[in-house]
Amino acid sequence: MSGMLKRRGFILPAFEIHGGSKGLYDFGPNGGRLRNRVNQIWLDHWTSLGNVAEISCPTITPYEVLEASGHVGEFSDFMTTCISCEEVYRADTLLENDHPNPDSLSKSDLNNLLQNAQPPCPACDSNEWSPVAAQNLMFNTTIGAGKSGRDGFLRPETAQGMFTSFPSLYRHFREKLPFGAVQVGKGYRNEISPRQGMIRLREFNMAELEYFIDPEMPLDHDLAKWSEIDLNMVSESDGEVSISISAAVDAGIVRHGTVGYFIAMTYDFLIKVGIDKSRIRFRQHESNEMAHYATDCWDAEIFGSYGWVECVGIAHRGCYDLEAHEKYTGKSLRARREFASPKEVVIDGWTIDGAVAGPAFRSLAGKVKTAVENLPKATEFPCLLDIDGTAVTIEQEHVKRLQRTEVITGEWFIPHVVEPAFGIDRIIWHILDHAYHETTKQEEDYTVMKLSPNIVPVDYAVFPLFEKDGMGDIAQLLNKQLNSRLGIVSIYDSSGSIGRRYARADEIGIPHCITVDHQSVDDNTVTVRDRDTGEQKRVNIIDL
């Protein structure tokens, strides 16, 4: 298949005339539009919920943002270098024959296994390896020049720009949860040695939704629409089951209603773009496989020529991300929750005695007051407080008891996030894989791409039976008219037999081929041939 995909301009190794570059691919003259249509369908799928807005953030990201998110510290693979030829490899891939699941091993376990197993170097067959080291997978660069130059990275995901945009989103949605932000764009991962074509790229197309919720709010997702659809699910507790999403949520297999709702929405999206529903399954992460902050996580896996491949991750991330940026920046990333009825709160603690503390602490007095009011009732004075990095001693004479009752109407909290993250390239690979049908016709190989009309690169092909006798002119005009319609692409093809032209059209999945023949000149009708059934209908041009 990949030869055909390259020849017909769907997907090609990038910069091939310059020798190419591993992990970088082009979407060619057929793939480019297909990719765009998949992206747009994805965006419409989520924005149609009515409380989800599209945003677009830079791919270049300052060091601080990715330090706050944990990527500077954690986003790495373990690598090792061949002592003999100096080629670099991921330690876990070298050990695939020596351990059932080497990517679950710690650095020291990998190191031990590597030194014991001594796998051969794929490049030079030697088997001496350097100690295993963590290699950060972000592409780094410098923003600006000279003294004002700052470290930056190419984003490993689109998500961080959406978390740092929380204040703007909260304002946009008039401070009312739940709401979401979607973003489609490039993500980057400097793979140590990329393999598997479109499955493991250094630069990839991704699409993420960050959906912000109040964890105390009742969920009102209507799952009835999917009640008759059994999904293939592989759950941590129950293994493989075929079950509707509402039943899976009710049974606690899916641990959160919003996660369940997004599993169903993901299923709908995959069907819409032409993934074969029998080759989709949802696999729950094992508890020890999830990030420590996640409470439930499911992958949508799609079956194709690489086996089952993770193409979508749907994760309940708790308050991890907003909290991390809040801690790092000191800026509030909170939402307000009003209580159903106001609450009385008894305050029983300490405050400062302004007459004494004011002169004593001068410009720090305000901050000392806040700090003292946070001290527990049982505090004994003198005590030492850290005020903006300065140690300040608070004496008994500085403070007095504070006892009062307050009525509060609500509180600020950090929203939780449920995130469906889509690997668009992997999905497109499987769209093509599932659409690809090879048969023979008149003893020759014959390929049909049975792509969904929603995402075909070309909607129509127009063929004049011959170019003479006015047929060429009618076909040219028709082709031009079709192209002038918004969102329609049509091609004109006049070379070779009609059979050869059908074959070329089938190979890129054009749903409808229109032939202009002798009769067309007389009565303005043409034949329209259906790609999948081969049936031909005669219709008037004005009815097209």
Interface with a second copy in residues 461-520 (CB under 8 A): 479-480, 483-484, 486-487, 489-493, 495
Residue 33 or 450: the one with the smaller Cβ distance to a second copy is 33
Query: Does 2 sit near a second copy (CB under 8 A)?
Result: no
Residue 183 or 284: the one with the smaller Cβ distance to a second copy is 183
Distance CA 221, CA 250 (A): 13
Q: Letter for the amino acid at 424?
A: I
Among 1, 2, 4, 64, binds a second copy (CB under 8 A): 64
Q: How many residues bind a second copy (CB under 8 A)?
A: 102
Query: Does 73 sit near a second copy (CB under 8 A)?
Result: no
Touching a second copy, residues 128-167 (CB under 8 A): 135, 139-148, 150, 152, 154, 161, 164-165, 167
Torsion region of 316: left, alpha or beta (phi above 0 gives left; psi -120 to 50 gives alpha): beta
Residue 325 or 398: the one with the smaller Cβ distance to a second copy is 325
Please give the torsion angle defined by the CA atoms of residues 317, 318, 324 and 330, in that order, rounded to the nearest 10 degrees.
140
Touching a second copy, residues 386-405 (CB under 8 A): none
Query: Does 368 sit near a second copy (CB under 8 A)?
Result: no
Residue 183 or 232: the one with the smaller Cβ distance to a second copy is 183
Touching a second copy, residues 76-135 (CB under 8 A): 79, 81, 85-88, 135
Closest by CA position to 471, among listed 536, 539, 519: 519
Kindly state the smallest distance separating residue 71's Cβ from a second copy, in Å: 13
Show the site string, 165-194: x = touches a second copy by CB under 8 A, - = not: x-xxx-xxxx------x-x--x-x-xxxx-
Kindly state the smallest distance separating residue 483's Cβ from a second copy, in Å: 4
Kindly state the smallest distance separating residue 168's Cβ from a second copy, in Å: 5
Which of 27-35, 110-118, 274-282, 304-312 is the region at the interface with a second copy (rule: CB under 8 A)?
27-35
Contacts of 20 (CB under 8 A, 6+ apart): 13, 14
CB 95 within 8 A of CB 80: no
Spell 168-181 as b/e; 16+ CB within 10 A means b.
Answer: ebbeebeeebbbbb
Residue 331 or 441: the one with the smaller Cβ distance to a second copy is 331
Residue 109 or 191: the one with the smaller Cβ distance to a second copy is 191
CA distances from 489 to 102, 495, 497, 511 (A): 48, 19, 22, 12
Touching a second copy, residues 196-225 (CB under 8 A): 202-203
What sign does the dihedral 277-282-283-289 (CA atoms) show? positive
**β-strand pairing of 460-464 with 490-492:** parallel
Touching a second copy, residues 320-349 (CB under 8 A): 325, 328-329, 331, 333
Both tokens assigned to 455: 């995402």
Kindly state the smallest distance separating residue 369's Cβ from a second copy, in Å: 26
Kindly state the smallest distance separating residue 412's Cβ from a second copy, in Å: 16
Kindly state the smallest distance separating residue 102's Cβ from a second copy, in Å: 19
Kindly state the smallest distance separating residue 36's Cβ from a second copy, in Å: 6
DSSP assigned state of 378: T
Helix (H) or strand (E) holding 261: helix 257-272
Kindly state the smallest distance separating residue 382's Cβ from a second copy, in Å: 36
Residue 149 or 342: the one with the smaller Cβ distance to a second copy is 149
Query: Does 57 sit near a second copy (CB under 8 A)?
Result: yes
CB 311 within 8 A of CB 266: no
Touching a second copy, residues 225-284 (CB under 8 A): none
Distance CA 482, CA 504 (A): 19
Q: Letter for the amino acid at 308?
A: W
Residue 48 or 101: the one with the smaller Cβ distance to a second copy is 48
Among 62, 70, 197, 349, binds a second copy (CB under 8 A): 62
Both tokens assigned to 209: 């939704």
Among 5, 38, 42, 65, binds a second copy (CB under 8 A): 65
CB 444 within 8 A of CB 225: no
Which of 30-38, 369-377, 385-393, 432-440 is the region at the interface with a second copy (rule: CB under 8 A)?
30-38
Closest by CA position to 394, among listed 384, 406, 404: 384
Residue 483 or 519: the one with the smaller Cβ distance to a second copy is 483
Which of 1-9, 383-391, 403-411, 429-437 is the region at the interface with a second copy (rule: CB under 8 A)?
1-9
Distance CA 246, CA 226 (A): 8
Kindly state the smallest distance separating residue 217's Cβ from a second copy, in Å: 17
Contacts of 100 (CB under 8 A, 6+ apart): none
Among 68, 199, 249, 335, binds a second copy (CB under 8 A): 68
Cis peptide before 382 (omega within 30 of 0): yes
CA distances from 112 to 94, 99, 123, 136, 452 (A): 13, 12, 22, 21, 50
